[in-house]
């Protein structure tokens, strides 16, 4: 097949999968490009995966313990600066604009709307932004504190501005993350243990997966160098599965941040050294959809072992 | 006390409560004004309330059944137009801005950021907006369909741009909603049954509550008339509790929309008439905080009956 043939074939597979997901109430259309709701079965499976992940977190809990925290999908715009997100991934971020005008400004806004113009261009920055990764609010929360190798367990919603016809790519999606902040050895150990345990869970769920080095989509020309460096240093691993034969999709990732966040948020270990961090994350909707691709749209008919692993029977 | 004395006293009570919530890991500061994370106990209580609410939904399920759907915190900006939100509550909405420039535009963005300017003002509307009420995405999803009195059970995240030092007022918060769309009688029956059951649950949780007619915060001068009309027609009820003695706060609400959403989204009953709708919602974080105010910050020490109602023992 030529490159064009391969691309057309992939697009056809994506369209067929999306149509199946929508026809079987797994995905619910919204008015937002690339934004989708979930039907009852998909949501049950998402909750089941999160629950199985909590089981791993309990099993792997280190001596310093595991803490379950929860951050909302919105944070300060300043978080995007502090994590370097605006420098590294501007193409994916989303900030929030609000209306702070009076009656007269509101009449203008409504006039623009009546003329079918883009009234949202008349709004002003609210100081809030969408959270692009579930662990970012954590570092800001811990700013300036001593860390001891505790694992933080987080489930939250991410926004990334990359609307796509591929149903596996969500603009807004949930991640389960297990984050450890401590010594370089603790961070490295965390990444390794979770990469193995995460691969194990996905395999038990009947998925054919493989882990591979990867890179984040750093922006622009300078970003190409950062991507190559990240890949060479093996800082990022993804767990991939072939929802579309021949085209692997990442459904989980394991990242070593070295001292990136420790430096940015002044996180230090007991000896005063800058802390290292590592995180492991499941893309909850992606894992759920990969399971639907593998086992079909009727969860009641899934293998008993899979249902049991998800706490569904 | 004079009005100023009363206001100062309320501010003091809010500050004391917020300090207690933060000192006891119930609320976690973020970089966003009015945005807060939740610690382990608060999150357990939130999940417990949602679970108790699902229990009510199962008990009250009508003949047409109950469907559990899930919509993300983001939707199309167009949803704010279609629900009349931009006309009625512009002061509360949030739309999303994204970066769609090239390398050069990114350098400009970063230069603004280096100079500590507001780089987010250089972004462009993304076509996405935050969802202000959990039931709004549902009407858009059902657009143009026949409805039969099914109840829809939703848990989701809302954004309302009203940062406040009062810890009971969240910029971003979760709601459990039970929504019924059908005949005027079905909608009215739903509102009545849930108002009683919701009041019952909150009372069983040890809260002193009372239901009262209320109005939404319609914007501007014209909004005053709409508010008065809504109150007079008894379309909105709130369940209130006094976290701050003498100052009731709403922790749940029950709304009759008449044909507002049925008309806007062409929802019709079997006989072709425009459907009516009603929703009941618990503000999950607000109920959790009201429970902390009542029973203290140590959930393990709460009355056994309360823990049992929340599935915590």
CB–CB contacts below 8 A, A to B: 225
- Of B203, B225, B201, B202, nearest in space to B215 by CA: B225
For residue A165, what are the CA distances in angstroms to A16, A17, B294?
A: 11, 11, 49
Please tell me the distance from the alpha carbon of residue A90 to that of residue A92, in angstroms, as a whole number.
5
CB contact under 8 A, B140 and A31: yes
Of B224 and A210, more confident: A210
Please tell me the distance from the alpha carbon of residue A218 to that of residue B172, in angstroms, as a whole number.
29
CB contact under 8 A, B28 and A221: no
Going by DSSP bridges, is the β-strand pair B236-244/B209-214 parallel, antiparallel, or unpaired? antiparallel
Q: What is the mean pLDDT of residues A186-192?
A: 98
pLDDT of residue A138: 98
Out of B81, B86, B95, whose CB is closest to A97?
Answer: B95
Chain B residue with minimum CA distance to A218: B103
CB contact under 8 A, A128 and B94: yes
The dotted CATH code for A3-94+132-309 is: 3.30.930.10
CB contact under 8 A, B120 and A95: yes
Out of A37, A98, A113, whose CB is closest to B71?
Answer: A37
Q: What is the mean pLDDT of residues A206-217?
A: 94
pLDDT of residue A2: 84
Measured in angstroms, the CA of B206 and the nearest CA of chain A are apart by 25
pLDDT of residue A62: 96
Model confidence over A101-129: pLDDT tens digits?
A: 999 999 999 999 999 889 998 999 999 99
Residue B1 has pLDDT above 80, yes or no: no
Test the A interface: residue of B42, B66, B96 with most A CBs within 10 Å: B96
CB contact under 8 A, B33 and A171: no
The dotted CATH code for B12-94+132-309 is: 3.30.930.10
CB contact under 8 A, B94 and A97: yes
Residue that is written with structure tokens 């150990």 in the block: A189
Any idea where the domains of chain B sit in the sequence? 12-94+132-309
Residue A159 has pLDDT above 80, yes or no: yes
CB contact under 8 A, A121 and B124: yes
Chain B residues lying within 8 Å of A93, measured CB to CB = 98-99
Out of A40, A72, A172, whose CB is closest to B69?
Answer: A40
Q: What is the mean pLDDT of residues A170-175?
A: 98
Out of A74, A100, A221, whose CB is closest to B172?
Answer: A74
Residue A1 has pLDDT above 90, yes or no: no
pLDDT of residue B3: 83
Model confidence over A217-269: pLDDT tens digits?
A: 999 888 888 898 898 889 999 999 999 999 999 999 999 999 999 999 999 99
CB contact under 8 A, A141 and B37: yes
pLDDT of residue A48: 98
pLDDT of residue B24: 98
The confidence band for A274, taking pLDDT boundaries of 50, 70 and 90, is: very high
Please tell me the distance from the alpha carbon of residue B111 to that of residue B104, in angstroms, as a whole number.
11
Contacts of A311 (CB under 8 A, 6+ apart): A48, A51, A52
Model confidence over B234-272: pLDDT tens digits?
A: 999 999 999 999 999 999 999 999 999 999 999 999 999
Q: What is the mean pLDDT of residues A151-170?
A: 97
Q: What is the mean pLDDT of residues B46-63?
A: 97
Q: What is the mean pLDDT of residues B198-207?
A: 98
- Of B192, B157, B176, B139, nearest in space to B283 by CA: B176
Model confidence over A18-77: pLDDT tens digits?
A: 999 999 999 999 999 999 999 999 999 999 999 999 999 999 999 999 999 999 999 999
Chain A residues lying within 8 Å of B33, measured CB to CB = 76, 127-128
Can you read off the two tokens belonging to residue A84? Answer: 């370097």
Q: What is the mean pLDDT of residues B191-214?
A: 97
Q: Which helix (H) or strand (E) holds A162?
A: none
The percentage of chain A sitting over the pLDDT mark of 70, rounded to a whole number, equals: 100
CB contact under 8 A, B172 and A37: no
Model confidence over B91-135: pLDDT tens digits?
A: 999 999 999 999 999 999 999 999 989 999 899 999 999 999 999
pLDDT of residue B222: 81
Chain B residues lying within 8 Å of A96, measured CB to CB = 94-97, 130, 159, 161
Q: Considering chain A, what is the average pLDDT of its residues?
A: 96
CB contact under 8 A, A126 and B161: yes
Chain B residues lying within 8 Å of A22, measured CB to CB = none
Contacts of A237 (CB under 8 A, 6+ apart): A191, A195, A211, A212, A213, A214, A253, A254, A255
CB contact under 8 A, B28 and A141: yes
Model confidence over B16-31: pLDDT tens digits?
A: 999 999 999 999 999 9
């Amino acid at each position: 097949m030529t490159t064009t043939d391969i691309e057309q074939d992939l697009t056809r597979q994506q369209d067929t999968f999306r149509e199946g997901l929508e026809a079987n109430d797994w995905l619910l259309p919204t008015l937002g490009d690339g934004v989708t709701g979930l039907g009852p079965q998909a949501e049950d499976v998402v909750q089941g995966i999160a629950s199985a992940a909590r089981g791993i977190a309990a099993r792997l809990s280190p001596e310093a313990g595991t803490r379950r925290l929860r951050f909302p999908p919105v944070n300060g715009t300043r978080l995007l600066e502090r994590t370097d997100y605006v420098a590294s991934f501007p193409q994916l971020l989303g900030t929030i604009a609000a209306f702070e005008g009076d009656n007269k400004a509101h009449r203008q806004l409504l006039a623009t709307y009546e003329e079918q113009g883009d009234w949202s261009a008349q709004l002003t920055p609210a100081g809030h932004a969408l959270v692009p990764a579930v662990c970012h609010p954590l570092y800001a929360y811990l700013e300036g504190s001593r860390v001891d190798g505790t694992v933080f367990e987080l489930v939250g919603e991410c926004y990334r501005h990359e609307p796509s016809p591929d149903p596996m790519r969500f603009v807004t999606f949930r991640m389960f993350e297990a984050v450890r902040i401590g010594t370089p050895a603790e961070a490295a150990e965390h990444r390794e243990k979770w990469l193995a345990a995460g691969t194990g869970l996905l395999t038990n769920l009947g998925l054919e997966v493989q882990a591979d080095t990867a890179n984040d989509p750093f922006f622009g020309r300078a970003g190409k160098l950062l991507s190559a460096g990240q890949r060479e240093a093996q800082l990022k691993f993804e767990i991939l599965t072939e929802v579309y034969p021949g085209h692997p999709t990442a459904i989980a990732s394991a990242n070593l941040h070295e001292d990136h966040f420790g430096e940015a948020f002044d996180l230090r270990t007991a000896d005063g050294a800058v802390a290292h961090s590592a995180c492991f994350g499941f893309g909850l909707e992606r894992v759920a959809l990969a399971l639907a691709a593998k086992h079909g749209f009727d969860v009641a008919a899934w293998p008993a072992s899979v249902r049991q692993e998800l706490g569904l029977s």
